[in-house]
C-alpha cells in the first residue's frame, strides 16, 4: 500500500476521533464510547506506523534499526484488542466487564511479549516492507512475528464470529453495522493469514515475500476501513436517517408554502430563513412560515366549505385522515384566494362553525400532498358562489 493511502486513511480516522471528543468529555466513563475511540485511535496508528516514510523516520530518529516494526505490531495488537472489547461492550451482558478485562489483560501480555522478543532478538538490517519474511528465521524475532500474527488472527476471527452471529438476531442500522464489521474483520483475517503463509514458506526455504508486501496490506487496509465503518453506522445511521426525513418533509411542504407565497410576501409573514442549511432548522423555518400564513387566514376560512368537503371525501373514500387533509387543502386554497381578492372574512358573514385544531407536521404534510388536486375544485366552488343569483 503506497504511503499516501496510509496518511489519508490515518487522517480520516483522526477526524472521526476528533468528532468523538465532545462525547468523550461529556461521557468519559462510557465503556462503549471508550472502546470506539480506542478502535479509531489504534486503527489510525496502524496506518501511520506502517507507512514506509514513517518507518524510515522512526528508525532514523531513534537510531535503532527496525524500531518501527514492534511499534507497528504493537498498534496492530492494540487495535485487535480494542475490536474485541468493542464487540463485547456493544453486545453487553452479565459478564461484559469481566470478559473485556480478560481480553485486555491477554493482549497486554502479547504487547509485553512483542517488546521482550524485540529486545532479545537482533535485527540490524532495516526492512521497511518485508520485515516479517526477512527475519522469519531469526531467533526471538521469529517468535515476535508469530506472536503478533496469531494474536491478530485470533482477535479478528472471534470478532467476525460474534459480529455475524449477532447480526442474525437484530435489524436496521445495528444489523448493517454488524455485517459491515463482520466483513471487515474477515478481510482483516486475510492480513495475518497471508503473512503466516509467507512466513511458513520462508521457513521451508521459499521466498513468498510479495504476499506479505502486496496482498496482505491490501486486506488490512480494506478490512480496517470496513470495520471502522461498521462501528460508525449504528451511531451515524439514525442521525443521518433523521436528517433525511427532515429534508423530505421540507420538500413535501413546498407546495403548501408556494400556495401561501403571495400572502406571505404581501403581509410580511415569512420568517427569516436560517443561514446555515440545517435540515431541522430549515424544516422548522418552513413550518413556522406556513403557520404564520394559516394564522392570518383564519378569518378567511370558509367553515362550511371545510365541512362539506370533509363529509364528501369521507363518504367517498371512508378515510378520515385523507378527508381531513383534502378539506384543509380546499379551505386553505379558497381562503388564500379570498384574501387576495380583498374580501371580508367568512366569519364576518356569520359562518362560525369551529375548525379542528391547527394541523401538526404530519397533517401539514398530508395537506401539502393533497393540495395540487384541490385547486381546480376550489376555483370552481368559488366561481359558483360568486355568480349572481338568477331571477326568482
Q: Which helix (H) or strand (E) holds 293?
A: helix 279-297
Q: pLDDT band at 112, cuts 50/70/90? A: very high
113 neighbors 77 (Cβ within 8 angstroms): no
- The three-state secondary structure class of 277 is coil
> Could you give the CA distance from residue 55 to residue 68 in angstroms, rounded to a whole number?
5
pLDDT at 376: 52
pLDDT at 380: 46
Section 224-246 average pLDDT: 85
Section 78-85 average pLDDT: 91
With CA atoms as reference, report the closest residue to 296 among 332, 329, 328, 330.
332
pLDDT at 215: 86
With CA atoms as reference, report the closest residue to 116 among 73, 60, 57.
73
pLDDT at 95: 84
What's the pLDDT tens digit per position in 248-291? 999 999 999 999 998 888 888 888 888 888 889 999 999 999 99
Cell numbers 400532498: residue: 369
> Could you give the CA distance from residue 216 to residue 153 in angstroms, rounded to a whole number?
13
Statement: residue 18 has pLDDT above 50: yes
**Whole-prediction pTM:** 0.71
- The three-state secondary structure class of 170 is coil
pLDDT at 148: 94
Amino acid at each position: 500500500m503506497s504511503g499516501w493511502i496510509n496518511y489519508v486513511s490515518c487522517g480520516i480516522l483522526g477526524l472521526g476521533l476528533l468528532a468523538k471528543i465532545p462525547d468523550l468529555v461529556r461521557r468519559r466513563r462510557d465503556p462503549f464510547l471508550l472502546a470506539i475511540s480506542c478502535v479509531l485511535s489504534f486503527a489510525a496508528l496502524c496506518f501511520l506506523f506502517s507507512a514506509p516514510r514513517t518507518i524510515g523516520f522512526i528508525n532514523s530518529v531513534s537510531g535503532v534499526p527496525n524500531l518501527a516494526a514492534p511499534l507497528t505490531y504493537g498498534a496492530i495488537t492494540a487495535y485487535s484488542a480494542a475490536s474485541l472489547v468493542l464487540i463485547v461492550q456493544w453486545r453487553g451482558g452479565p459478564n461484559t466487564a469481566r470478559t473485556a478485562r480478560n481480553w485486555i489483560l491477554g493482549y497486554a501480555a502479547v504487547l509485553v511479549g512483542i517488546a521482550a522478543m524485540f529486545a532479545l532478538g537482533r535485527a540490524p538490517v532495516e526492512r521497511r516492507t518485508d520485515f516479517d519474511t526477512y527475519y522469519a528465521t531469526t531467533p526471538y524475532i521469529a517468535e515476535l512475528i508469530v506472536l503478533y500474527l496469531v494474536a491478530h488472527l485470533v482477535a479478528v476471527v472471534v470478532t467476525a464470529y460474534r459480529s455475524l452471529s449477532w447480526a442474525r438476531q437484530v435489524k436496521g442500522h445495528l444489523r448493517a453495522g454488524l455485517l459491515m464489521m463482520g466483513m471487515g474483520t474477515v478481510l482483516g483475517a486475510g492480513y495475518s493469514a497471508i503473512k503466516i503463509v509467507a512466513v511458513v514458506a520462508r521457513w521451508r526455504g521459499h521466498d513468498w515475500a510479495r504476499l506479505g508486501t502486496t496482498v496482505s496490506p491490501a486486506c488490512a487496509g480494506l478490512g480496517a476501513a470496513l470495520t471502522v465503518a461498521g462501528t460508525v453506522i449504528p451511531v451515524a445511521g439514525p442521525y443521518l436517517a433523521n436528517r433525511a426525513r427532515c429534508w423530505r418533509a421540507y420538500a413535501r411542504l413546498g407546495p403548501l408554502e408556494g400556495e401561501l407565497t403571495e400572502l406571505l410576501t404581501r403581509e410580511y409573514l415569512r420568517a427569516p430563513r436560517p443561514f446555515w442549511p440545517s435540515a431541522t432548522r430549515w424544516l422548522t423555518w418552513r413550518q413556522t412560515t406556513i403557520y404564520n400564513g394559516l394564522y392570518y387566514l383564519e378569518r378567511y376560512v370558509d367553515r362550511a366549505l371545510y365541512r362539506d368537503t370533509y363529509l364528501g371525501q369521507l363518504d367517498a373514500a371512508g378515510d378520515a385522515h385523507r378527508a381531513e387533509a383534502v378539506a384543509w387543502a380546499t379551505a386553505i386554497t379558497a381562503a388564500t384566494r379570498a384574501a387576495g381578492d380583498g374580501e371580508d372574512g367568512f366569519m364576518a358573514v356569520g359562518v362560525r362553525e369551529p375548525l379542528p385544531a391547527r394541523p401538526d407536521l404530519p397533517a401539514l404534510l398530508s395537506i401539502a400532498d393533497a393540495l395540487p388536486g384541490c385547486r381546480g375544485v376550489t376555483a370552481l366552488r368559488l366561481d359558483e358562489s360568486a355568480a349572481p343569483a338568477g331571477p326568482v
